[in-house]
Structure formats: C-alpha cells, structure tokens
C-alpha cells in the first residue's frame, strides 16, 4: 500500500517542473509514463478486500497452503508436489520474465483453472470478486509484492508459426542445442539423464514434465503456453528461462517441435480395449512380426490413480496413464501395454503383495539419491538382507538376453553411472524395480449381473488373477488375489511376456491361451473386465503403493470371417428386400390398373416394412 502511494506522488511531480526545462521534463514524463504501468501493478487491495480474501483463503486454501501461507497446511504431508509457499513470492506459471512476480491475471488463471495433475484444484465456484480478494490476501504473505522492482511487464507472445516440416526440424536442432533433452529426454518423455536428480529451490525432488503428454502441463497445452513456459522459466524450479538465449523465431520453431512431440491436448481416455482377430501366430520372440500384429489393433489410453484406500498409500504416483491393445488368434490372446517412465528401474525387487512400512507410505516422487541412501541406511531393519542383494541384482543383465535390450536399459554408460554408480546402495531405483500387472476376474459374472471383483486385487467371493511382470526379470508371474492381503502365486495358466524400454517408454507384451480352466477364458464377442497396476521403482512403489485403474473392458471382436460375412449377409438381405419390393409394386400396379384404388405412396410405405 505504502509503495503504491509513493508511486502516485512521484507521478504528480513532473507538472510542477514544467516551465523550467520543457524538453527534459517531457522526456521525464515519457519515461514515467513508460514505467507507470509497472508501478500500477503494485496493487495490494484495500484492508477490507484483504480481510474478505482471508475468509475465502481460510475456508478453501489454508488446509494446503497453510494458515501463514507457507505451504505447510495440515493436508500437505500427503501432497506432492507441495503446495506453493506464498511467503517466497516465487510462482511458476507467469507471463512475466524469469524471477519476476506474477501478474494478478496469472494468479487468477491458476486459481480458476487449477494446476492439472497436482492436488491444486480449480475453483470455478468462487466469484470474480472472491478471487480478486483472495489474490490480495495471498500477495500479503510476501513482502516482494510491495517492491516495484520485482514487477515485470508480461512478455510478448507472437502468434505461432505454421508447423511446417522445416520449422519442426529447426525446432529439434534448438531443442538439442539448448539441452532440453538432458532433462526432458530425446523425445520428451521426461527421461533425460538429469531427470532423476532434479530438485526445486527447497530441495524437494521435482517431477520433470513429460512433454509428450500435453494434458499434464500445468501451464496449459497450447503453443502460446509452451512459448511462455520456456521463455519465462518456472521460478523456484530447475526449468530455466530461454528468453535471453533464443531469438523469437527460434523460440517459435522450438514451440512447433515441442508440440510435435505430443500425443494431443487431451488424453482421450477410453474404457474399452478392442481385441482384434489375427490369422497369424503370435510369436513373442519375433519383434517385427509382433509389431506388425499390433499395428492394426486400436490403442486405448486408461487413466491411473494412486492407491489411497488401503495401507501403502500413494497419493502422487509417477505414472498417470497407460495405453493398451489386444490381438487374438484361434488359440491365443496377446495384450500390449505402454507407459512412460523417467528411467528403467531394473535391478530391484517388487511384488504385488510386498509390504510397505508406514514410514514409506506416500513417499513422494523423486527418491533422490541422498534421501534414498539415508532411507536405506536408516531402514536396514525393514529391509533385512536387501543391501546384500544389490550387486547380484545389478549383474543380472543376462535376463535381457540379446545385449541390445541391455543397452537400452543402461544406455550410454553415463546414465548407468548416475543410476548405479559408486556402489551407492540407496541411489533411487536400485532398491525397487518397475513393474506392471494386468488384472482379470477369474470368471465372468452371471449374465446381467453387474458384479465385478473388488478392484484392489479382488475379494474373497470374487478372486482375480494378476499377470504380474517385475521388469527386473521381464517374465510374467501369475498371482491369484482375494484382496490385497491375500495375493498368492498360482501356476494355473502359463502367461508369457516380453518387455522393452526405449527413450522413456516401457512396452510389455503378454500372451496366454484364450481358454483356461482355472481362470478367465476369452471367447469371441465377449466383454471381459480388465484393470491395470503400474509400479515405478524410482518412486519406491511396490505392493499396495502403486498406480492403478478401475475396471475397464476388453472386447474380443468377432474374427475376420464373421466380420466379412456380416456385410455380405446384409447386402444379400438388401437385394432380397428390393426384389420383393419390386415384385410387390409390379403386382400392385397390375392390381391398381385393374381396380384403380391405392396410392403409390401407400404401396412404398407398406413395402418398406419387410425391408427393415
């Protein structure tokens, strides 16, 4: 407030000096006018407005952002990333240059829309005045907002360039030259070599953005948003500003490249996998043939959430979606699942029923090396013999046979050093491996019954089968679950799997016989419930600490012969119907000529019936 007053006084000075040196004064006035908008930004509201803002804040915001605005509300233990600490004056999503305060409109956007894929919700229920007031109140937590020097003009965001091939390829060069890949990965999946080490200004591990999933961008998915993000940087995070190092045009090309990495603005979540029929054998060892089979199968993306209903809670899972496809032939069915993971954790342990000690519930994203080391050292008791298993586990490259897979996992040597170097027992994923599971009921519910097993590994009446793959070993193990405390290995069906990790993406392909005596069979034209679990070893996920989906369906599409006969049949019916119609009309015409009664329209309407 005080500063605001001063700036107004200053603005009144020049007219008094007018007569003395008109030119200089004119220049001074011009200068003041130029800076006037800056000063006008120091707007801390009236006392009443701030008091009204406090009411809104205490009601809706304090539980996360803390009564004192320090980000330590009572709900924050469970929240990753942590709520913003308003006392620092550091805001991520701004239109203003690096290091500057956000504009009120920037804050308004975060409050209205929320920050997707964090616990920060949007607040469409608040009135415009309430938002104004709460903004005034938030600003009062940091003295920075009283300092005119901390205000900057919003940057210019030029309209995007057309996404031509040249523009995208120039953008790729910029992306490489500027080192985006070292954090975001070569194709943007968040798997750059630095990604596992990143922390924010407070030393908390910070999750790198997956540039291929634009719907998870908190600053917005449009080209303008992308331009703004890397031009202004995200204050308080390792995400730098490139305003000084890049010309506008190169920034526009970079936008086109980043945009081209994406899978769309929207995740397009589905509820159904359509398993398509193939004549060919399904050979897991023949990668090319397998890829060709799946090339024709539609891909569906399913949302994953953290398991928070039972102990082992995971409020902020690393993986937020999984894609799935299915193919079947006469005897077998194959499923392929894909998800992005910032690195392949392939040296550790994992299992669907591994115990998660209470202190390790909900340990957030990151598991940065030091924390991990401390945890491991502190927790020797919890993990008993785990220390001794490290080295042999890391040596089990043999599991990945063909050598080239091994290279992918531990790519480029330097990654390997970061991840496993120096015999540092605690360095992140060495302890727990990545893993994935498909879940099916062991039989279909009675026709018409909506009953499905409990989605958390089944229940006593309705068991489930799990096709579990620990990515350290890359083979499928089968488990039967009657609830998450009763998951036991079964040998009932043989499920095979192959796995690969490439540039931040896991692909796991499963195969099983379609018919089973012990578990579910996949008959043609059947809707079979399916659910997914994904574990990120880097995030110390194992057992019940995982990302999971609710039940969705696999539909085994009719095999090709049937699919082909159906249209033929339909055509035949149509021909028949037309013939009948013609015969009918001809006869009627004949009768009409004889009797001269019904209209032609009636005739058509009547004739239409058999055709339908």
72 touches ligand HEC by CB under 6 A: no
> Rounded CA gap, 170 and 596, in Å?
79
Considering the complex, what minimum distance in angstroms separates the CB of residue 156 from ligand HEC?
A: 18
Considering the complex, what minimum distance in angstroms separates the CB of residue 131 from ligand HEC?
A: 8
Applying CB under 6 A, among 7, 72, 119, 515 the residue interacting with ligand HEC is: 119
Applying CB under 6 A, among 7, 35, 63, 507 the residue interacting with ligand HEC is: 63
145 touches ligand HEC by CB under 6 A: no
Residue closest to 316 by CA, chosen among 549, 544, 80 = 80
Considering the complex, what minimum distance in angstroms separates the CB of residue 531 from ligand HEC?
A: 26
Residues in the chain: 612
Instruction: Pick the closer one to ligand HEC by CB: 79 or 554.
Output: 79
How far apart, in Å, do the first and last CA atoms of the chain sit? 77
Considering the complex, what minimum distance in angstroms separates the CB of residue 276 from ligand HEC?
A: 35
Residues whose CB is less than 8 angstroms from the CB of residue 47 and which lie 6 or more positions away in sequence, other chains included: none
Instruction: Pick the closer one to ligand HEC by CB: 107 or 273.
Output: 107
> Rounded CA gap, 221 and 213, in Å?
9
Residue closest to 467 by CA, chosen among 497, 443, 445, 447 = 497
342 touches ligand HEC by CB under 6 A: no
198 touches ligand HEC by CB under 6 A: yes
Considering the complex, what minimum distance in angstroms separates the CB of residue 68 from ligand HEC?
A: 14
Residue closest to 386 by CA, chosen among 435, 436, 432, 434 = 432
- The distance from CA 333 to its chain's CA centroid, rounded to whole angstroms, is 28
Residues whose CB is less than 8 angstroms from the CB of residue 121 and which lie 6 or more positions away in sequence, other chains included: 114
329 touches ligand HEC by CB under 6 A: no
CA angle 236, 240, 243 (to 5 degrees): 125
**Burial classification of residue 81, based on how many CB atoms lie within 10 Å of its CB (0-12 exposed, 13-18 middle, 19 or more buried):** buried
118 touches ligand HEC by CB under 6 A: yes
Applying CB under 6 A, among 42, 52, 120, 393 the residue interacting with ligand HEC is: 120
CA angle 416, 421, 427 (to 5 degrees): 95
CA angle 532, 538, 541 (to 5 degrees): 45
Applying CB under 6 A, among 84, 172, 343, 511 the residue interacting with ligand HEC is: 84
Site for ligand HEC in 94-113 (CB under 6 A): 107, 110-111
209 touches ligand HEC by CB under 6 A: yes
531 touches ligand HEC by CB under 6 A: no
Stretch that binds ligand HEC, among 14-22, 159-167, 231-239, 338-346 (CB under 6 A): 231-239
440, 530 contact by CB (below 8 A): yes
Applying CB under 6 A, among 87, 178, 462, 486 the residue interacting with ligand HEC is: 178
Cβ atoms within 10 Å of 370's Cβ, excluding its own: 14
Instruction: Pick the closer one to ligand HEC by CB: 209 or 276.
Output: 209
Instruction: Pick the closer one to ligand HEC by CB: 123 or 551.
Output: 123
Structure tokens at 337: 């699942």
327, 337 contact by CB (below 8 A): no
322, 303 contact by CB (below 8 A): no
Applying CB under 6 A, among 42, 52, 79, 161 the residue interacting with ligand HEC is: 79
In the complex, the residues that contact ligand HEC under the rule CB under 6 A are 60-61, 63-65, 75, 79, 81, 83-84, 91-93, 107, 110-111, 115, 118-120, 123, 134, 138, 178-180, 182-184, 194, 198, 206-209, 211, 217-219, 226, 229-230, 234, 237-240, 242, 254, 258
């Amino acid at each position: 407030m005080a500063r605001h007053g001063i700036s107004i006084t200053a603005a009144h000075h020049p007219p008094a000096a007018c007569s003395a040196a008109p030119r200089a004064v004119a220049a001074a006035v011009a200068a003041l006018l130029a800076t006037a908008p800056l000063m006008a930004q120091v707007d801390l509201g009236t006392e009443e407005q701030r008091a009204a803002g406090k009411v809104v804040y205490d009601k809706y915001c304090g539980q996360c952002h803390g009564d004192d605005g320090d980000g330590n509300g009572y709900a924050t233990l469970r929240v990753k990333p942590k709520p913003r600490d308003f006392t620092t004056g550091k805001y991520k999503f701004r239109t203003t240059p690096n290091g500057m305060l956000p504009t009120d409109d920037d804050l308004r956007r975060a409050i209205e829309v929320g920050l997707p894929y964090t616990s920060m919700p949007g607040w469409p229920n608040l009135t415009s005045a309430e938002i104004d007031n709460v903004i005034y109140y938030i600003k009062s937590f940091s003295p920075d907002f009283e300092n005119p020097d901390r205000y900057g003009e919003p940057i210019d965001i030029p309209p995007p360039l057309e996404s031509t091939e040249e523009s995208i390829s120039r953008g790729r060069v910029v992306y490489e030259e500027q080192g985006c890949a070292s954090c975001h990965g070569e194709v943007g999946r968040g798997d750059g070599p630095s990604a596992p080490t990143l922390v924010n200004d407070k030393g908390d591990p910070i999750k790198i953005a997956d540039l291929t999933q634009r719907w998870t961008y908190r600053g917005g998915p449009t080209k303008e948003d992308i331009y703004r993000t890397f031009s202004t940087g995200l204050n308080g995070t390792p995400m730098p500003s490139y305003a000084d190092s890049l010309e506008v045009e190169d920034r526009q090309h970079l936008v086109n490249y980043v945009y081209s990495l994406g899978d769309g603005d929207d995740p397009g979540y589905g509820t159904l996998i359509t398993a398509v029929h193939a004549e060919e054998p399904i050979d897991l060892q023949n990668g090319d043939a397998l890829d060709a089979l799946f090339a024709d199968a539609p891909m569906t993306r399913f949302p994953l959430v953290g398991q928070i209903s039972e102990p082992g809670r995971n409020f902020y899972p690393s993986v937020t979606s999984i894609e799935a496809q299915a193919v079947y032939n006469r005897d077998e069915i194959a499923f392929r699942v894909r998800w992005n993971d910032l690195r392949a954790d392939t040296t550790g342990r994992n299992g669907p029923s591994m115990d998660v000690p209470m202190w390790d519930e909900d340990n957030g994203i990151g598991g940065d090396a030091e924390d991990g080391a401390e945890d491991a050292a502190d927790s020797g008791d919890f993990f008993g013999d785990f220390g001794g298993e490290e080295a042999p586990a890391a040596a089990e490259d043999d599991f990945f046979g063909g050598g080239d897979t091994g290279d992918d996992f531990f790519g480029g040597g330097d990654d390997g050093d970061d991840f496993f170097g120096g015999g540092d027992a605690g360095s992140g994923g060495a302890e727990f491996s990545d893993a994935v599971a498909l879940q099916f009921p062991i039989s279909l519910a009675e026709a018409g019954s909506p009953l499905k097993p409990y989605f958390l590994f089944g229940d006593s009446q309705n068991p489930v089968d799990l096709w579990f793959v620990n990515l350290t070993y890359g083979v499928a193990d089968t488990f039967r679950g009657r609830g998450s405390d009763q998951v036991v290995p079964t040998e009932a069906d043989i499920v095979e799997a192959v796995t690969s990790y490439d540039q931040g993406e896991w692909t796991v392909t499963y195969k099983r016989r379609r018919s089973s005596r012990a578990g579910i069979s996949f008959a043609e034209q059947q809707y079979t419930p399916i659910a997914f679990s994904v574990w990120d070893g880097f995030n110390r996920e194992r057992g019940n600490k995982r990302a999971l989906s609710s039940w969705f369906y696999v539909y085994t599409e009719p095999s090709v012969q049937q699919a082909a006969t159906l249209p033929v049949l339909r055509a035949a019916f149509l021909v028949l119907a037309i013939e009948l119609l013609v015969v009918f009309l001809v006869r009627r015409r004949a009768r009409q000529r004889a009797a001269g009664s019904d209209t032609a329209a009636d005739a058509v309407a009547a004739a239409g019936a058999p055709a339908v």
